[in-house]
Structure 1
């Protein structure tokens, strides 16, 4: 059973969009061509993650 709060907010669309934006910025700073979009990358990680700590490490 999930407890609402910080550990479950990583599944929210708002949090996921924030991660997509961070991936986009990192891709832009890297300055290299990528075969996947930031949305594709985030979705790949999200599908495999079982907790917020596996999804995102600041």
Structure 2
């Protein structure tokens, strides 16, 4: 869990910047489970097209 928390802190600003510059809708999916140590975990995945990807597909 500490590793997940550290990763979140490390990448939070980068992800916010990427999401704010999205040129498409942002699509979310989620998954919820309990770890073997009986901790609840929620995963949120987001998919979007940013300006860089938009240039590659044009």
Q: Same fold (TM over 0.5)?
A: no
Q: TM-score, normalising length from structure 2?
A: 0.32
For normalisation by structure 1, the TM-score amounts to 0.32
Higher relative contact order (CA 8 A, sep 6+): 1
Larger Rg: 2
Structure with greater strand percent: 2
